[in-house]
Amino acid sequence: MKLNGIFARLIITNFIPLVFLSMFMSFIFFNIQKLDRLMKQITLVEIPVIEKTDRLSGIILRQIEFREKYIISADTDFLRQYEEYTDSFRKVLAELDAVAAGERKLQALAKLRTAYNEYFQAEKVYIRNGGKGSYVPSVNSVSAALEDLRGVAASKREKALKTSGKLVEQVRTEIFVFIVTGGVLIVCLAYLNTRSIALPIRKLSENTRRVAQGKYPDHIGTGGPSEIRRLSEDFGTMVRRLKESDELRTEFIGNVSHELRTPLTSIYEASSMLKEDYFINDRESSERLLNIIETESKRMINSVSNILEITRLDIEQDSYNIAPVDIGRAAVSSIEKTAPIAAGRGIAVVSDIAPDLMVYADEEKLSLVFVNLIGNALKYSGDGSFVKVTAERKDSLLTVCVSDNGTGIDSEELSLIFERYRQGSNRSTEYKGTGLGLAICRKIIEKHGGTIWAESQKGCGSRFFFTLRCV
C-alpha cells in the first residue's frame, strides 16, 4: 500500500476522527461510570441506612409502649411483645452494620449501640422493680444517636445527588461538544481529502483541454495522490511525444518545401524554356537545360530520400532489429550498391575486413551508414582516387574505418559536419547534397550504442570511424 495513495489517504483521514471519537467517548464513559458509582452508593447505602434508622425510631417507641403496658397490667403477653421489639431492634442494628460504610456513619452507629445498651440495661432494672423505686429510663440519648446517624446518611445522599446532578449536566455538555466537534472535524477532513484529490484532477483536466487546443504545457506535474501523479506523468510523456511529433511534422514540411522548391523552380524554368522552343536551333543551350533538369531531379531525389530517411529514423526510434551481422559482408554489399558511381569516376573501392567478423547491428540500417560514408568518400574525392573500408577489433569493440584520399575537411568543421543540414566549405557544386547523410549515420550508430567521428586534414583525405559491439 502506497502511503501517498488515495486508499492510504482515506484510511489516515478516517483514522484521525476515529482516534478523536474514541478519546472523547472514553472520557464520557469515565464520567458515566462515576455517575453509576454515585447512584449505587445512594440506592444501596444511604437510602437503606435512612430507612433502617426510621424503622429503629418506630421500634423503640413500640418497645416503650409495651414496657409501660406491662408495668401497668403485669400481663406477661405485653412483656413478651416488649421482648420481641428489643430483639427486632438488635436485628435491625445488625442489618445496619452490614450496609453502613464510611467513618462518620460507623462512629454514629457505635454511639447508637452504646446508647441503646445503656438504655436497655436501665430499662431492665426498671422492669425488674415493676416501675417502682427508680426513674423512668430516658430514651433521649438513643433518639439523639438515631438522629445523628440519619443526619449523616441524609447529608451524604444530598451530596451524592448534587454531584450526580452536576455529572449528568457535564455528560450532556460533553456529548454536545462531542457531536459538534466530531461533525466539524469530519467535514473539514472530508473537504481536505476531496480537495487533495479534486485539485490535481482539475489541473490535469485543464492541461488536457490545453493540449486539445494544440497548446503544449511545459509542465504537467499535478501533485496529489500517487495514482493521480502517475496518471499525470504518463500524460506528460504522451504530451511530450505529441509535441515532438508535431515539431517533426513542422520541421519535415519546412525541410521538404525548402529542399524541393529550389530544384523544382530550376526544372520548371528549364522545361518552360525548352517547351517554348526558345533554343530550337541552339543545341548546346538545349543540352544545358536538359542537364539542369537531370541534375536538379537527381538532387531532388537525393533530398527527398534523405529527408524521408531521417524523419523515419526520428519516428521509428524503437524499430531497430538488432542481430548478429557479418560486417565484412555488409561492407561488400554496400560497396556493390555504390559501384556504378565509383566505376563512372574510376575510383577503386575496396574492403579489407577479416571474414566472419560478427557484430550486433540492424543490417538494413548498417548498410545505410556504409552507403552514406562510401558515397561521401566518392563525392569528395577526385577521379581515379581510392576508398578503403577496414575494421579493427579491440576486446568486444569493433572500430570500422572508411578512408579516402579526397579533398579532406577543415579542422574547425570536423565537429560540425555530423549536425543536420551542415555542409562543409568543400561541398561539391556538382553533387549538391542536403547535409543530412552524416546526421543519419550518427543517429543510427548512437542508437546501436556506438560512436562516430572523423579525422581529416584539408587536402590529405578523410577517415570516418564508427564503433559497434562484437558478438
Other C-beta atoms closer than 10 Å to the C-beta of 149 total 26
Quote the least distance from Cβ 456 to ligand ATP, whole Å.
6
- By beta-carbon proximity to Mg ion, the closer residue of 437 and 461 is 437
407 binds ligand ATP (CB under 6 A): yes
- The listed partner (Mg ion, ligand ATP, none) that binds 435, CB under 5 to 8 Å by sort, is ligand ATP
Do the Cβ atoms of 387 and 345 come closer than 8 Å? Answer: no
Among 59, 142, 327, 409, binds ligand ATP (CB under 6 A): 409
| Residue of this chain nearest to Mg ion (CB atom) | 437
Looking at residue 135, what DSSP letter applies? Answer: P
Cα–Cα distances (Å) from 279 to 22, 270, 286, 293, 453, in that order, read 105, 11, 6, 15, 49
Strand partners, 324: 360
385 binds ligand ATP (CB under 6 A): no
Interface mask toward ligand ATP for 324-353; x: CB under 6 A: ------------------------------
Cell of 23: 478519546
- By beta-carbon proximity to ligand ATP, the closer residue of 347 and 436 is 436
Helices (H) and strands (E) in the chain, counts: 10, 7
377 binds ligand ATP (CB under 6 A): yes
426 binds ligand ATP (CB under 6 A): yes
403 binds ligand ATP (CB under 6 A): no
Can you tell me whether residue 407 is helix, strand or coil?
coil
Quote the least distance from Cβ 375 to Mg ion, whole Å.
6
- Write out the residues near Mg ion by the rule CB under 5 A: 376, 437
Residues binding ligand ATP: what is the number (CB under 6 A)?
25
Quote the least distance from Cβ 425 to ligand ATP, whole Å.
7
Give, for 451, the enclosing helix (H) or strand (E).
none
Interface mask toward ligand ATP for 285-304; x: CB under 6 A: -----------------x--
Among 208, 311, 367, 423, binds ligand ATP (CB under 6 A): 423
- By beta-carbon proximity to ligand ATP, the closer residue of 245 and 428 is 428
368 binds ligand ATP (CB under 6 A): no
Residue among 118, 54, 59 nearest 83 (CA): 59
Q: Which residues contact 418 (CB under 8 A, 6 or more apart)?
A: 438, 439, 441, 442, 452, 454
Angle at 170 between CA 164 and CA 176, to 5 degrees: 140
How far apart CA 386 and CA 345 sit, in angstroms, is 10
How far apart CA 196 and CA 394 sit, in angstroms, is 58
How far apart CA 393 and CA 322 sit, in angstroms, is 19
Quote the least distance from Cβ 364 to ligand ATP, whole Å.
18
398 binds ligand ATP (CB under 6 A): no
Residue among 463, 436, 396 nearest 252 (CA): 436
Interacting residues with ligand ATP (CB under 6 A): 302, 306, 372, 376-377, 379-380, 404, 406-407, 409, 417, 422-424, 426-427, 433-439, 462
